[in-house]
Chain A
Amino acid sequence: MATMVQAIRMALHVGESKLGVTDIFGEDVGPPLGGVFTATQGLETTWNTPLDERGIVGMAIGLALAGRKPVAEIQFCDYAFNTVDLLKIAGNTYWSSGGDWNVPLVMMTPVGAGIRGSIYHSHSFDAQATRIPGWKIVMPSNPRDAYGLLLSAIKDPNPVMFLKPKALLRAKGKPGEEIPGEPGDDKTLSKMIDAPLGDRTKWRPEWPKLEELYIPIGKARIARPGTQVTVLTYGRNVPMCVAAAEELAADNIDAEIVDLRSLHPYDWDAIKQSVMKTNRVLCVNEDTEITNFGEHLIRRIVEELFYELHAPPKLLAGAHLPGIGLADALEHASVPQKDGIKRAIAELAKHEP
């Protein structure tokens, strides 16, 4: 089973060999490194940029306007904040030009905590990203979704932001999360597509015969079916919430975990269906809690499904702190963890009006 970072690499290979991707670029994206997380090793169209995030986003917009199909990387989303006005331009160009110029680009960037990244390698970007209309925003929670969402992002004629949950990049897929065409054996896949240590100048990957798989943008996935509490989450928190729900099952608490996969557009039908079944809602994500995307979901749920609710909706998110501290205890206390998620689900499950 591929890891998420291998899945991303394989999607980019399909992108450049079959879907017209012309440029995959960013800081240390090209040879020799192939990305600080190895997401771009062995690809044909990768190249390194100056350490200039505004230049990277501007380059992507310009390439897109000129009819190419760029995939740009911001090495960590923590360094995308100085590009926000260019991200706004990517998002508003089709609209402000009255439909004259669409901007078909993919921006991918690692997000979130979980690797002891301290203050500037732990930021989340989902709240910021969903504040920039004109973009589609996706965030996978497993290798198969990463592969399928990235192929959909590449095919889309609009700017698509592909948020990579960095804590999951090395996580392997579970049964049912296979990428069509990948060899079943981890070691075989690694030998085929992972660059060797040391000199790589003569190394070439041997790509498996991959099939195209499109996870539609805007479609959620039920990561774990349940009946008592709906948990709306994405990215790193999905496996965490699933694990919490599995442990709670022993106490006869049955939570449904909805993996949104797309933050914009998001799958309101799936959310509505789940909430009408469970009548209880918990939103879980890592971004800071004030003006959080989960707050938007709760606002809409309260407005449209108020009389379906048996408990006040709850948000479990990152603490509204200036940063995430490095030490174990500091990071754990700053973003949701499995135990806190279990407590929140259990409280909601027991709550009666």
Chain B
Amino acid sequence: MTTAPPDRSAERSPTTAAASGGLSTETALRLHDLMLRSRVLEERLITMYKQGDGYFWIGGPGEEAFNVPLGLLVDKGQGLDHDYLHLHYRSSGTLLAMGADPIDSLRQMKNTASDPYSKGRNFAGHYSVRKWNVAPVSSPIEVQYSIAIGTAQAQTKKGTKGITIVQGGDAGTAEGDFATCLVWSSRKGRELPILIIVTNNKFGISTPYEGQHGESRIADRGKAFGMQTATIDGNDPETSFHALKKAIDYVRTERKPYLLEAMVSRLHGHSSASGANFVKDEVDCLTRFEQRLEEKKVLSRAQMDEMRAKYTQEFLTASQKVREEPQPKAETIWDHVFADKNYVGGEN
């Protein structure tokens, strides 16, 4: 599983006609493939947790329709000329779309020594990929909004085309860090090139949106700071793709902040702490998208079932492999307390 998912657009659909509104068939198929892989990956992670192959699960089933387009649209790379991502613990779809190997997510779930994101130290979904400017995901919510202004400021000072993208949930916007991000990024003459994303699943663990917010739309908070804002249906990959493209293009060109609120679902609850079982009363973006693809005859139900079965088997096999990989040795707790070189400054 070291290669990106193959592009099957040619074998499945000879036409280039729009499969889903404004998306080309090729893009629709690519989105579907990654959304499905991401969903099956999360299902495998939950299964691993339930079977005792991990201590805790948290992740992003329900955010695929938004997170996958995000991963496809970023300028991926290392350093100021590319985009910095300050994500949250529901971002597996973004990472897979960027080309992450799914087996590495399993490694982090199983906390193996081979876990490339944290060497067995952190929970599932806590990604860190310096070569792609993916800053470490941390469990405290919203802190990434205070840190993101720094990478955006660095891009401004160097005058690059790179932008900073920060993402978190709706409940976290109650923290002061959200206000920090709005204030620091919008000062006149000092605007920062930062796409501020809020994926709104209408919950903070068990507390509903109404119990946490006075504002009807989180995006409205950006208006007070003179920001471009939008609230979109994040369960629709087409809407998400176009809204993200528009927002990213704006930030990249104008070098100013944009606040994008995406309404999404939380299909397996907050985390394994609440059982991680499938929630039936929320919109499932994947089911909805597959129905549309079927109606448009882009893919048949049988084809999609076959894909799902294939990925399920692939990740099962991968999890069996990961189970055999060594755990970190106890003495490694002392590794990486202090750096001996300035790696982020270019030393090697």
* A contact residues vs B (CB 8 Å cutoff): 20, 22-23, 49-50, 52, 54-55, 57-70, 85-86, 89, 93-104, 133-134, 136, 157-158
Contacts and interface: CB of A to CB of B under 8 A. Distances in A.
A101 B128 contact: yes
Contacts of B140: 85, 89
7 contacts: A50-B184, A54-B177, A58-B148, A58-B149, A66-B155, A67-B346, A98-B117
B118 A158 contact: no
B196 to A, nearest CB: 14
Nearest to A52: B180
Nearest to A136: B338
Given A52-B180, A62-B150, A94 B345 contact: no
B115 interface: yes
A99 B344 contact: no
Contact of A67 (B80, B136, B148, B149): B80
Given A67-B79, A95-B336, A134-B338, A61 B343 contact: no
A26 B151 CA distance: 17
Most buried by A among B152, B180, B187, B346: B180
Contacts of B84: 65-66
Contacts of A158: 338-339
B150 A95 contact: no
Given A58-B143, A89-B138, A157 B116 contact: no
A156 B32 CA distance: 46
Contact of A61 (B122, B147, B152): B147
A80 to B, nearest CB: 14
A96 B136 contact: yes
A20 B147 CA distance: 21
A102 B147 contact: no
Nearest to A155: B342
Contacts of B155: 66
Question: 3 nearest interchain CB pairs?
Answer: A62-B150, A58-B146, A98-B119
Given A100-B117, A101-B130, A102-B344, 12 more contacts: A50-B184, A57-B146, A58-B147, A58-B149, A59-B146, A59-B150, A67-B344, A98-B119, A98-B335, A102-B342, A103-B344, A104-B342
Contacts of B337: 94-95, 133-134
Given A59-B184, A64-B150, A98 B344 contact: no
Contact of A54 (B135, B164, B180): B180
B157 interface: yes
Contacts of B143: 58, 85-86, 89
B153 interface: yes
Contact of A68 (B154, B164, B183, B187): B154
A31 B154 CA distance: 20
A22 B146 contact: no
A102 B151 contact: no
Contacts of A57: 146
A137 to B, nearest CB: 12
A70 to B, nearest CB: 8
Contacts of B138: 89, 96
Given A50-B183, A55-B184, A101 B344 contact: yes
A215 B237 CA distance: 57
A314 B217 CA distance: 59
Contacts of A68: 154, 157
A98 B146 contact: no
A351 B268 CA distance: 67
Nearest to A20: B345
Contact of B135 (A20, A95, A101): A101
